[in-house]
């Protein structure tokens, strides 16, 4: 079996990836208790080579999740607290004069890390958000006409608080589209919250998170996942879902081709994490909302009627014909 002329991912390679994905999720869970489904989703985004937007109220563990993932991967990580006075050069870096050598040198900014935590990203001005945009899409920073490549792997995990809107700047659609998926953490259930409250439980202790892989292994697995088989009916199903969002009268902006490509990358990683070397329709249905919802725009009439993007996607999935599961 081949994928675009390249040998497809073998069952042994899938089993190896599943073990790695499980190790990452298990170790992150030592710090973020009771949120395995969210951790699995963020790990899928990382192995799919994309960026994540965590949107939730304060105190639910957004920063803990990002920092724990960085610790588990074992690569370099930096945290940037976004504020209204943050400059683009504070994020990407700038050229400085070295008096000893008499040369102009590039001083790299915090984006030159494997995992970048952009905390409260919606508090930065538009020009700073735009500076981050190029890096997220191109994995390159251009200063004085010279391109500088960020490390591989490279993932931006951004957080924002949807409740406190004072002093914030709304993320434009162009930047939202750069995030492979958006998710929320939410409050833990009763038993896990009691566990978090228990003195000495270790919950939230990022320093205790073990390193279970390396940036090189993550990058290699990300490249390998392109070879996981996606059958033609699944691709047509993904396309049909996207086309249905564009035709829905409640949306003034449907799913772009780029977002559908991102969905395919995610379902490849998700299928491999389940131990399968092929994708089934349930994989698409599981990931449609976190991958597509934040990229859609409701019409004014739909918003006034109380519609939600998630509800529209549920309706779309209900009316688009589902292909028969296939492993070939």
- Cα–Cα distance between 82 and 84 in angstroms, integer? 7
The number of C-alpha atoms within 13 Å of 71 and in the hemisphere containing its C-beta is: 21
The domain over range 228-327 is classified in CATH as 1.10.8.80: yes
Q: What mean pLDDT value characterizes the chain? A: 87
- Cα–Cα distance between 83 and 123 in angstroms, integer? 5
Per-residue pLDDT, averaged over 113-135, amounts to: 84
The DSSP string of 194-223 is: HHHHSTT--TT-GGGPPP-S-HHHHHHHHH
| Bridge partners, residue 142, by sequence | 147
Per-residue pLDDT, averaged over 161-187, amounts to: 78
- For residue range 222-253, what is the model confidence (pLDDT) as tens digits? 999 999 999 999 999 999 999 999 999 999 99
Pair 245, 180: CB distance under 8 Å = no
Residue 325 pLDDT level (bands cut at 50, 70, 90): low
| Bridge partners, residue 115, by sequence | 77, 155
Burial of 152 (0-12, 13-18, 19+ CB in 10 A): middle
- Cα–Cα distance between 75 and 217 in angstroms, integer? 11
Q: How far is residue 112 from each of residues 93, 295, 297, measured CA to CA in Å?
A: 9, 27, 32
Listed in order, the ranges of the chain carrying CATH 3.40.50.300 are 9-195
Per-residue pLDDT, averaged over 120-149, amounts to: 83
- For residue range 98-112, what is the model confidence (pLDDT) as tens digits? 787 777 888 888 899
pLDDT score, position 5: 54
Residue 2 pLDDT level (bands cut at 50, 70, 90): very low
pLDDT score, position 322: 94
- For residue range 278-300, what is the model confidence (pLDDT) as tens digits? 999 999 999 999 999 999 999 99
User: Going by DSSP bridges, is the β-strand pair 251-253/297-298 parallel, antiparallel, or unpaired?
Assistant: antiparallel
pLDDT score, position 164: 64
Of the listed ranges 4-13, 238-247, 265-274, the least confidently predicted one is 4-13
In the sheet with 155-160, reading across from the earlier edge strand, the strands are 77-81, 115-119, 155-160, 52-55, 181-183
- Report how far apart the first and last C-alpha atoms of the chain are (Å, whole number): 8
Burial of 328 (0-12, 13-18, 19+ CB in 10 A): exposed
Token duo for residue 8:
């497809």
C-alpha torsion 223→229→234→239, nearest 10: 30
Whether the predicted pLDDT of 216 surpasses 50: yes
- Cα–Cα distance between 150 and 133 in angstroms, integer? 13
Whether the predicted pLDDT of 6 surpasses 80: no
Length of the chain: 328
Using the structure block, give the residue that is written with the tokens 């205790």: 208
Listed in order, the ranges of the chain carrying CATH 1.10.8.80 are 228-327
Phi, psi of 6 (to 5 degrees): -115, 140
Helix 232-247 with 281-292: angle, nearest 10 deg: 40
Architecture per CATH, domain 9-195, reads as: 3-Layer(aba) Sandwich (3.40)
Residue 327 pLDDT level (bands cut at 50, 70, 90): very low
- Cα–Cα distance between 136 and 263 in angstroms, integer? 17
Residue 309 pLDDT level (bands cut at 50, 70, 90): very high
What is the sign of the dihedral through the CA atoms of 286, 291, 294 and 295?
negative
Phi, psi of 130 (to 5 degrees): -65, -35
């Amino acid at each position: 079996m081949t994928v675009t002329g390249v040998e497809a991912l073998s069952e042994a390679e899938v089993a190896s990836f599943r073990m790695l994905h499980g190790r990452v999720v298990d170790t992150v869970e030592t710090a973020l208790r009771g949120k395995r489904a969210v951790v699995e989703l963020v790990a899928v985004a990382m192995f799919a080579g994309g960026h994540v937007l965590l949107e939730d109220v304060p105190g639910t563990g957004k920063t803990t999740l990002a920092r724990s993932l960085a610790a588990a991967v074992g690569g370099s990580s930096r945290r940037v607290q976004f504020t209204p006075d943050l400059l683009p050069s504070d994020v990407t870096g700038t050229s400085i004069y070295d008096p000893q050598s008499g040369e102009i040198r590039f001083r790299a900014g915090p984006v030159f890390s494997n995992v970048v935590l952009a905390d409260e990203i919606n508090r930065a001005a538009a020009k700073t958000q735009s500076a981050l945009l190029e890096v997220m899409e191109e994995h390159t920073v251009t200063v004085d006409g010279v391109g500088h490549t960020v490390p591989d792997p490279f993932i931006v995990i951004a957080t924002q608080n949807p409740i406190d809107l004072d002093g914030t700047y709304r993320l434009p659609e162009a930047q939202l589209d750069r995030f492979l998926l958006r998710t929320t953490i939410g409050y833990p259930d009763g038993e896990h919250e009691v566990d978090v409250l228990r003195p000495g439980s270790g919950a939230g202790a990022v320093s205790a998170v073990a390193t279970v892989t390396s940036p090189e292994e993550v990058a290699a697995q990300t490249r390998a996942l392109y070879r996981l088989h996606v059958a033609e009916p699944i691709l047509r199903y993904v396309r049909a879902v996207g086309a249905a969002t564009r035709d829905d009268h409640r949306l003034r902006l449907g799913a772009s081709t780029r977002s559908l490509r991102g969905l395919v990358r995610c379902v490849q990683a998700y299928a491999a994490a389940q131990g399968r070397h092929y994708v089934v329709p349930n994989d698409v249905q599981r990931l449609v909302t976190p991958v597509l919802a934040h990229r859609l725009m409701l019409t004014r009439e739909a918003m006034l009627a109380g519609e939600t993007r998630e509800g529209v996607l549920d309706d779309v999935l209900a009316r688009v014909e589902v292909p028969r599961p296939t492993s070939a």
